[in-house]
Structure 1
């Protein structure tokens, strides 16, 4: 079984035997340890680390199609937010254990591996493109409750709207709209479980004019209605 390791926070040293290959993993790095590599982890800088590890059946037809490297490899992903969102969904599936959870979990793991494989084959983005991508993501983080268009992102980086939209999708694996909804859904989960606001108030706060639309987007993202995440104390 191969392992895909995503460094979400902090840093670690990944050592693979028998050749002794060492890879330093920092936030946003995704590494692949092929079958038989016997990976071990060693403390890096800092006291806190958060690492996600996915087991991948290397001999399955889907994995053979991905053509993951036969040797250990590491790449700084440009799609960390998207991958973290998918990992949260995978953890929710494993926790709830509803019918079909294994199938959905395996599908999510393959989806993450496929996107990482594409990034690895394409190589790291050019420095200018990477800066543009980070500026667009920061812009969305600041204004995700508003309607954001490719024209807005084009102005943000001083390029054409089509260039901005193409670069954004290539760099994140999501359209602008999908990325904005994902940001809103992360905030929605927090507000539903930690605040005393109603579902209607949260929907309005996040820029959804209709509660029914908010509920559809939420269910599509999390596989459950918003009411399931509501936490109330009497």
Structure 2
């Protein structure tokens, strides 16, 4: 279905530039830092952190560092059989797309994983890499179908998100988050779910369980200590939440977790 030719990670290259040419491949880009300038069929675009960019084959493209300086980005060069892929509008229409993803961190981890797989080589690359690329294409297609989020909703969601990132180990109630943005609890939950994709409570659990995975693999803390450290004062409840999100108990994760791709556990 999809064939990955190359994956690049451009890491603040001082004189990065790509000449003007008509592409005979497809290009998928995730900008992770800074800004990058593109000319697409004679029209100028600027990609910045969080932008997911698709450039279809047949496009005349040139690229350069933005005048503000170098940038970081992942670039995937790929091909696909048009008769073998599902109907995905932006692929079918060979449409240039520039879109700011709502779940940037997860997309970044998937690009990182794709880059690592290509760099490390090994068996089954022909299965693993197209599967990751297919997920990224699906993410972009799904995001494009969602209604546009207003700047104010994005601002509210980001305020809540940053608060949760700083306080996820503490007891948090929806009322606290509502007061943070001066809105009702129902509106607070609704706008966070619309922008981030999860309710605030589920997002707290995801942050805690992600931290639990790291602690289980990299420390000698007991499961009970980790449960308490992360704000779960009932260890049995921590077990249930952990298994719900990882499909393993904490004790099993200590044994098998190092072989698990954590990015797939936490979208």
Give TM-score, length-normalised by structure 1: 0.70
Q: Following the alignment from structure 2 to structure 1, what is the Cα–Cα distance between the partners of residues 244 and 34?
A: 32
Gaps of 5+ in 2: 1-24, 260-267
1:173 aligns with 2:197: yes
Of residues 160, 164, 174 in structure 2, which corresponds to 1:136? 160
- Deviations 1:77-127 (Å, cap 9, x if unpaired)? 222123234445555666787986754544443333333233334454212
Say whether the 8 Å CA contact 1:78–1:172 is kept in structure 2.
yes
Contact 1:208 1:214 in 2 (8 A): no
* Residue correspondences, number: 223
Larger Rg: 2
Q: Which runs of 5+ in 1 are unaligned?
A: 230-234
Inter-partner Cα distance in structure 2 for 1:104 and 1:151: 43
- 1:77 counterpart = 2:101: yes
RCO higher in structure (CA 8 A, sep ≥6) = 2
RMSD: 3.9
Alignment counterpart, residue 6 of structure 1, candidates 18, 23, 30: 30
In the TM superposition, residue 3 of structure 1 has moved relative to its aligned partner by 2.4
Q: How does 1:1-234 map to 2 (within 5 A)?
A: 1-16=25-40, 19-37=41-59, 39-45=61-67, 47=69, 49-55=71-77, 57-59=79-81, 64-68=86-90, 70-88=94-112, 90=114, 103=127, 105-122=129-146, 124-184=148-208, 187=211, 197-200=219-222, 201-202=225-226, 204-209=228-233, 210=235, 212=239, 216=243, 219=246, 225-226=253-254, 228=258
Inter-partner Cα distance in structure 1 for 2:119 and 2:230: 27
Deviates more, 1:170-179 or 1:25-34: 170-179
Give the SS at the match of 1:7. strand
